[in-house]
Amino acid sequence: MAITAAEVKALRERTGAGMMECKKALVEAGGDIELAVEVLRKSGQAKADKKAGRVAAEGRIVVAQDAAAAVIAEINCETDFVANDSNFTDFAELLARTVLAERPADVAALMALEVDGTRLEQVRTDLVAKIGENVSVRRFAVVSPRGGLASYVHGTRIGVLIDVEGGDEALARDLAMHVAASSPVCVSADQVDPEVLAKEREILLDQARQEGKPEEIVEKMVEGRVRKYLAEITLVGQPFVKDPDLKVEKLLKQAGAAVHGFVRYEVGEGIEKKQDNFVEEVMAQVRGG
């Protein structure tokens, strides 16, 4: 099948592999980019799958909190300039406060709510007309803690809510800052999706076998690499950002504390953003003229 240059470029940006390797992987995968990423990882060609960390949209993360719960929400726009405009920030804060008060089931239910007699969807539409950019409400989460609740917003682009039982407010805030900086997937290994872990184990197994080691050595290598993988993606397995010699798990034990859960949002993560080619745009206008 024909593989386009755009598909090769997209795979190369995600994996860091060479152009020819990317094209071969896409051919082998029948044009399926997700399968091609897996092919490259198994062969050791991919440096990293950077899809999840790619930030492609603008906007801000907002947090609202009362005595019983907290809300974190992501609202998107098209440019940094609008993300800091007071009209946009007021709208974002209104949404967070409304979620906290009304607890809608999802974004559609939220936008159907009325505030001061006007549906929030109409408020959004009016805002778009006023600022000249598209505005979208992407997601929100409500956390009702089992322990104490801490929040942290880094600038306007990364926000964290964390539920910590035991310890003190300083510990909870430090842990929220750690989650913002280190981006763990979950609290502990028992929360990792079994399908995700099985796929990672399969990839690591293929990588190890290609090194030509005996099968019994391969198994030991894979187990060690799985442990390293779990340490990297779990909060308790990570080195604490304020003291890299101390694992978060040990920090919690020292404080007699436990983390029941957290939510981490980063503006635009996983959203594709159109990349405009300015030169081509100008040339198209010239040709059109």
pLDDT in tens, 189-201: 999 999 989 998 8
Is residue 283 scored above 70 in pLDDT? no
pLDDT tens digits, one per residue of 47-106? 545 433 333 379 999 999 998 899 999 999 988 899 999 999 999 999 999 999 999 999
In this structure, which CATH number among 3.30.565.10, 3.40.1440.60, 3.10.129.10, 3.30.479.20 belongs to the domain 58-186+262-266? Answer: 3.30.479.20
Cα–Cα distance measured from residue 166 to residue 146, given in angstroms and rounded to the nearest whole number: 11
Tell me the one-letter amino acid at 211. E
pLDDT computed for residue 253 by the predictor: 97
Task: Tell me what pLDDT residue 280 has.
Answer: 55
For 4-35, how does the pLDDT look when each residue is reduced to its tens digit (9 = 90+)?
988 888 888 777 677 888 889 999 999 998 89
Q: Does domain 1-51 have CATH number 2.40.50.140?
A: no
pLDDT in tens, 110-158: 999 999 999 999 999 899 888 888 889 999 999 999 989 999 999 999 9
Q: Which residues pair with 60 in a beta bridge?
A: 75
Q: Is the pLDDT of residue 214 over 90?
A: no
pTM of the model: 0.73
pLDDT at 44 > cutoff 90: no
Distance in angstroms (rounded) separating the CA atoms of residues 227 and 38 = 20
Residue 285 has pLDDT above 60, yes or no: no
Which positions ≥6 away from 182 have C-beta within 8 Å?
A: 235, 238, 241
SS3 per-residue string spanning the chain: CCCCHHHHHHHHHHHCCCHHHHHHHHHHCCCCHHHHHHHHHHHCCCCCCCCCCCECCEEEEEEEECCCCEEEEEEEECCHHHHCCHHHHHHHHHHHHHHHHHCCCCHHHHHCCEECCEEHHHHHHHHHHHHCCCCEEEEEEEECCCCEEEEEEECCCEEEEEEEECCCHHHHHHHHHHHHHHCCCECCHHHCCHHHHHHHHHHHHHHHHCCCCCHHHHHHHHHHHHHHHHHHHECCCCEECCEEEEEHHHHHHHHCCEEEEEEEEECCECCCCCCCCHHHHHHHHHHHC
The structural domains of the chain, with segments of one domain joined by +, span 1-51, 58-186+262-266
